Structure 1
Amino acid sequence: MTELGHGRIETVTTYDSNTGEFVVNTPCESAQKYCIGGVANHATQMVVFSKLEINGKYQGVHAFICQIKDADGKICPNIRIADCGHKIGLHGVDNGRIWKEL
């Protein structure tokens, strides 16, 4: 998995102390996660590598398990999933891109 922007992680996760949740945000188009094999059609969860900020302080890069579809295969709110498009010779491979709607 990689981000469209390559070379640096633009995805930012913040801890919301009011809800006790981590909120993952892809702040720009180049922060989209590009994934290989089955993600757009079959995955319900994914691991997202993201910069973590708690109370405005950078805590380094962490891995988060994120729900992207429910048990019925319906895409979760605020999540966008799309195929990566034309692939030379491997059209049956489901390479996908995933990001949080802005």
Structure 2
Amino acid sequence: MWQWIRGRIPSGVEVRKRNGPGTGLYPLCGVPEDSNHIFFTCLSAQFLWGCFREVVGGNWCHTNFPDMFAELQASFPHSRHIRWLEIGTLAWTLWTIRNRFVI
């Protein structure tokens, strides 16, 4: 979560900037892999967030981390910690799926 919040995720685009291995493309979609794609715009991410939205009863449409963060900060204080835990779990799941395809 710390790396994600600060934009330090070693995505394909970031690795290619440093002349690292790989093409810089997301293996599931074939588009440039940045953290926004991994966690929000990829079809697998959209599906996962859609399921989460159905379970918690939300109606938002997140497309980036700042929007999600703003909505979390506006939520009820007593449920904010639980939401962060849930979002962290979903983000970890998406990152793990990505790593299984890349590594």
**Superposition TM-score tier, normalisation by shorter sequence:** under 0.3
* Higher strand fraction (1 or 2): 1
Larger relative contact order, structure 1 or 2 (CA cutoff 8 Å, min sep 6): 1
TM-score for the superposition, normalised by structure 1:
0.25
